[in-house]
Amino acid sequence: MKSGITMRDPTAETASVLRQRANPLDTLKGRTVALMDIGKMRGDEFIDRLEQLCHDRGVATRRYKKPTNTRVAPREMIADIAAHCEAVIIALSDCGSCTSCSTHDLSDLDKLGLAGVSVLTEEFRQAFEQQKSAIGFDAASIYVPHPMQNKTTAELHAFAEQSVDEILSAICTAAAPNPVRRAA
């Protein structure tokens, strides 16, 4: 067992160039997509519907939930996602601290080769852009209306329905697999 002191670099996170993100998958067939719930109130309702929409399209998913939205995901969770999934959807950021932490989670998973996308509310578009610039990561994002906590379950499900194809396109170059037609 090694002993010693771990040193941390106290300098600010800044990058002069954005690291390109992992290439989107060429297909979702036979692949598993991690659905990471960051732990925001009502975000699980959005992810519940997103999960069902993925299954309707033949996309295999695996659910994860962070213990808190104000910290990065535990290392064990990141390792488990990397071991069992080929892509990740992180949702649903709607404040500054969770946007920052989710961007770091997305970057960590990207460094392990997973295609990924972060789903955030429109109000935090600028915060996401600033965070990804600060850490030097050209991350993918999809935006939904803000705020989320005061929406009904039906509204949250509608946001998932309206964005699912765009979300899947962010992690896979092929057209959305087996698109589902909406009832009139």
Q: Give the residue from 42, 15, 30, 49 showing the smallest Cα distance to 174.
A: 30
For residue 129, the model assigns a pLDDT of 92
For residue 125, the model assigns a pLDDT of 92
* pLDDT greater than 90 at residue 13: no
Q: Average pLDDT, whole number, for the chain? A: 88
Using only C-alpha atoms, what is the Rg of the chain?
16
For residue 181, the model assigns a pLDDT of 37
Q: Quick one: what percent of the chain has pLDDT higher than 70?
A: 87
Hey, what's the torsion of the CAs at 45, 49, 51, 54, to 10 degrees?
-160
Q: Is 134 exposed, middle or buried (0-12, 13-18, 19+ CB in 10 A)?
A: middle
Q: What is the pLDDT of residues 46-69, one digit of tens each?
A: 999 999 999 999 999 999 999 998
CATH architecture type of domain 19-171:
3-Layer(aba) Sandwich (3.40)
Mean pLDDT along residues 127-138: 92
Strand spans (E) along 48-156:
60-65, 87-93, 115-121, 137-138, 141-144
